[in-house]
């Protein structure tokens, strides 16, 4: 059974701090890795995707991938109260099926 694991949280950080979200996956054949943000009662919204080992930066967000350790992370710099949401890690192999983690709840305190 292919799994994506995330700490459920909540992760609480003060405004302006760096939030660090982590994810591990079980399938070594996974090729694509995604971070989604989901506000309560809303649909997932893609923040970033990453395919290669290393870091990928987009504005305040940095995704990090380590395929040897089967580990993906998301850093949010200068966290804002509006970043408070559940962050979903999602993983895909070579096909069409995307497997989601249960998500980490993030609270950014003003």
100 binds other proteins (CB under 8 A): yes
Between residues 82 and 95, which has the closer beta carbon with respect to other proteins?
95
Beta carbon of residue 100, minimum distance to other proteins (angstroms, whole number): 4
Q: Are 79 and 19 in contact (CB under 8 A)?
A: yes
Q: Are 86 and 35 in contact (CB under 8 A)?
A: no
Q: Are 91 and 98 in contact (CB under 8 A)?
A: yes
Binding test (CB under 8 A) with other proteins, winner from 74, 85, 90, 106: 90
96 binds other proteins (CB under 8 A): yes
Residue 15: which residues within 8 A CB-CB, separation 6 or more?
A: 79, 80, 81, 108, 109, 110
31 binds other proteins (CB under 8 A): yes
- Residues near other proteins, by CB under 8 A: 31-32, 38, 42-46, 49, 88, 90, 92, 94-103
């Amino acid at each position: 059974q292919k799994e994506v694991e995330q700490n459920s949280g909540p992760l609480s950080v003060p405004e302006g701090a760096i939030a660090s979200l982590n994810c591990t996956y079980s399938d070594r054949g996974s090729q694509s890795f995604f971070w989604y943000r989901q506000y309560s009662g809303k649909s997932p919204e893609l923040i970033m995707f990453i395919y290669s080992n290393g870091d990928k930066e987009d504005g305040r967000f940095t995704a990090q991938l380590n395929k040897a350790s089967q580990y993906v992370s998301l850093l949010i710099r200068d966290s804002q109260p509006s970043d408070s949401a559940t962050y979903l890690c999602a993983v895909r192999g070579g096909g069409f099926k995307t497997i989601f983690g249960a998500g980490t709840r993030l609270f950014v305190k003003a």
